[in-house]
Structure 1
Amino acid sequence: MFDRINLSYFATTLGYWIALFFIPLLVLELTQSALLVSVAYALDILPYIVLTPIAGALADKFNKKHLIIIGEMCCFLASLALFFLTFEKSNVYFIILLGFLISSFSAIHHPVFQSILPELYHHDILPKVNGNIASINSFTGIIAPAILGVLFGFLSNKQIALIIPLLYLVSAAAFYGIVYRAHTTKHKINIIKDNKEAVNYLKTQTTLMDFSYLFFFVNFGLRMILSSLIWLYTTHFYLAKNLTAYHFIFIGIMSILGAKIAGKYIVGKYTTDKIIFRSSIVIAGLIFSLALFDNVFYLTFIWGLVSLFSMFIIVAYFTYRQQQTERALLSRVVALTRLISYLAIPPAVLLSGYLLDAFGAPNLIYFIAGACVLLPSLYFANKSSAART
């Protein structure tokens, strides 16, 4: 079963990452419009903000395995439609729309997938399971752009587009073979009422909500820099585009290493609050240290360390949320807390882009991002310490 879970998650995540890179590149190739590329990226984030609460409500009411398979098949059909579409400028809005549909069904996948794991595995091995899932996510994020770079040299856009639906088909087939006994309620679904129930539950979960609020600020700080890495490498450091891949590979390897270390040696052996608060403070210090040396290799090394400690937070946070939340509410709780962190992305990206355009000074980005991580970390760490005394 574990191999099927890994295979399904690997295939769906790789399919999503390839689509995430391929569709904006296709839009740019057809239109040469930076605005339309920005629209394509924005529509990729929008479903994670709008649809995530709906997905959580659905998952707590219906068979999670069926929902995942249906979602994967919808991604398969949307990406297959992309393959059959003629790649010409007159169809660019249809291409963007199909990318939006793929992102929409992918957005449904996460809360359902996260909430089904505690029903498939004993809570003692959840840290290891979450570590493996985080590793797969990091690994696919590395290899997707690398694969595309290679494929563009050998295959046509049409042939590359065919890979995406095939990956979603593999994911659906792998998940179909998983043995799962549904734990769902028989009540009728009411999106507003069901999510209100989850909100009321979260109001009683002070620690989980503190972690979620902190995750918003940490995500804000990280996204300010993450969204600017390409600009920093190519414009600030004048690095050739083909060489940036090696820097991202190193960062990705550090993420995988962090996920493995967290799942095997840290989560479950130390308290969740210590892991999250201390890792966040270390991350803030690393971000501030980026201002010490204006060097491309130093940037990559420090950001690799940031990625490593970020995995400590992610694995600890996911495991705590799965273990502490009532089973009947887990999908909605995952969806709502995930929504909080995703709300940080649009303002963080826009602020970072504006500051770089206006001032062109990365040190200002480092200072603001570091402060966004450090100050909330100290506040919530102090709050947690006071609650224990």
Structure 2
Amino acid sequence: MYKSNFIYLWSSFLVSSIGDWLYRLALPIIILQKTGSAYHAATVFGVSFIPWVLFSLIGGSLADNFSKKKTLILGNFFAVFASLFLITVMSFPQPNFNLLYFTVFILASVDPLIHPSFQSIIPEIVINVQLVRANAMIQTIDNTLSIMGPLTGGMIVMLLGGVNALWIDTISFIVAIGILCLLPKQTESKRREHIIRKLWFDIVEGANYSFHQRVIFSGSMMFLFTNFALNMFEANFIFYMTKTLNYPLVDATIAISIGGVGSLLAGALGTQVVSRFRAGTLLSSSTILAGLSTLLLLVSTSYVYIGVILGLISFFGTINVITYFTLRQRTVPKEILGRVVSVTRMISYASIPVGAWFGGLLLDLGEPMFMVIMIAGIIRTFAGIMAKLSPLGKEK
């Protein structure tokens, strides 16, 4: 029963992730084709993470009070209509950016509302000794798609056009709903009838635990700085490759695909690595190594070389994520896990829109990508050093 239920969850995540990859690749390409603006492309990227700051706590309360299965299904159902509206907006020759930002914000609001339910349902359908393996399998989806997604997605975007490619994202939500319906019915919290009245209490309870559990809080602060650094570069990658270095889109997607090999290896080795080393040492060291690897992007502008370095960065980043997710699931009581997931995700994601906007702004002001990469690498390395000195670095 446990195995089949996890397969359903894993399959729904796979389908929706395929759609998300096309969405993340197609949207900046459409914007760059229509405007050529790194600022607008990076700002749209950043706007998509603002809901994580605003709605994560609500998502955590939903996860701990309502059926996680229902939350996941309703979230994907809402995403279908938001995605259709985005397709309409992007169909105009020149997009209205205020309307575009609003639409991206609405679609992006689904993830923070359902992500805590997704994370906190895993310990309910997977036995404790299999948590590392389950998290590694979930991460393997992202890792595999990070290899196949860019190249395949780039070909789909070139063949169908960016707007038509967005339709696949819409269909992925519908298919995910069908798979999630196969999960067993869950018992909802007895506090459900008081959800509105108790929402504030639930948020405070989750925040208090997250802020006072020093290891968990240190981890979320580490990700706050690493996400700022990562997204300074990531939000502007397509612009850098196609506009600054003048590579065709296919070469840019090849570089991303090569980079995905690192994530795939980390997912495959995650169970052995996480089980062999102390969590604190692994989290701080992988962050430092990811930061130093980022600085290696300054050495060459060959798209193959860039892909190899992206592979190093993604390898350490993926080990980082698997380690922290497993640590959080093992440390936090199940009855409050959804809220803790939401609080820590809210903290760590708060810097993403700022980092994306800041990187795009630097490029728009005429600063070279060299400067963006150097700042990003230094910040991420510094975040790992500080994590090593924090309670997180001492965690076993």
TM-score (norm. length: structure 2): 0.86
The residue number in structure 2 matching 1:9 is: 13
Report how many aligned residue pairs link the two structures.
386
1: CA distance, partners of 2:82 / 2:300 = 46
Inter-CA distance 145–58: structure 2 relative to 1 (3 Å threshold): same
The one-character-per-residue Cα deviations of 1:323-368 (angstroms, maximum 9, x if unpaired) are 1111111111111111111111122223323334446444433432
Instruction: Give the counterpart letter for 2:208 in structure 1.
Output: N
* 2:274 paired with 1:267: yes
Name the structure, 1 or 2, with higher relative contact order (CA <8 Å, separation 6+).
Answer: 2
Q: Which of 93, 97, 112 does residue 117 from structure 2 map onto?
A: 112
The residue number in structure 1 matching 2:204 is: 196
Structure 2 unmatched runs, 5+: none
Q: Which of 227, 232, 240 does residue 224 from structure 1 map onto?
A: 232
Query: 2:247 is paired with a residue of what secondary structure?
Result: coil
- Retained in 1: the 8 A contact 2:290–2:380? yes
Q: Relative to structure 2, which stretch is displaced further, 93-102 or 281-290?
A: 93-102
The one-character-per-residue Cα deviations of 1:275-309 (angstroms, maximum 9, x if unpaired) are 10111122222223333445443332222101101
1: CA distance, partners of 2:233 / 2:90 = 36
Q: Which of 74, 78, 84 does residue 70 from structure 1 map onto?
A: 74
- Retained in 1: the 8 A contact 2:16–2:176? yes
* 2:334 paired with 1:327: yes
Instruction: Give the counterpart letter for 1:341 in structure 2.
Output: S
Query: 2:298 is paired with a residue of what secondary structure?
Result: coil
2: CA distance, partners of 1:44 / 1:158 = 18
RMSD: 3.0
Structure 1 unmatched runs, 5+: none
* 2:132 paired with 1:127: yes
The residue number in structure 2 matching 1:59 is: 63
The residue number in structure 1 matching 2:175 is: 170
| Equivalent residues in 2 for 1:225-264, closer than 5 Å | 225-262=233-270, 264=271
| Equivalent residues in 2 for 1:83-102, closer than 5 Å | 87-89=91-93, 97-102=102-107
- Retained in 1: the 8 A contact 2:42–2:235? no
Instruction: Give the counterpart letter for 1:243 in structure 2.
Output: D
TM-score (norm. length: structure 1): 0.87
2: CA distance, partners of 1:54 / 1:208 = 19
| Equivalent residues in 2 for 1:362-381, closer than 5 Å | 362-381=369-388
The residue number in structure 2 matching 1:349 is: 356
Query: 1:277 is paired with a residue of what secondary structure?
Result: helix
The share of aligned pairs that are identical, in percent, is 24
The one-character-per-residue Cα deviations of 1:48-103 (angstroms, maximum 9, x if unpaired) are 22122211111111111111011111112333455688933598576665443322
Q: CA deviation at 1:232?
A: 3.5
1: CA distance, partners of 2:163 / 2:369 = 39
2: CA distance, partners of 1:109 / 1:386 = 30
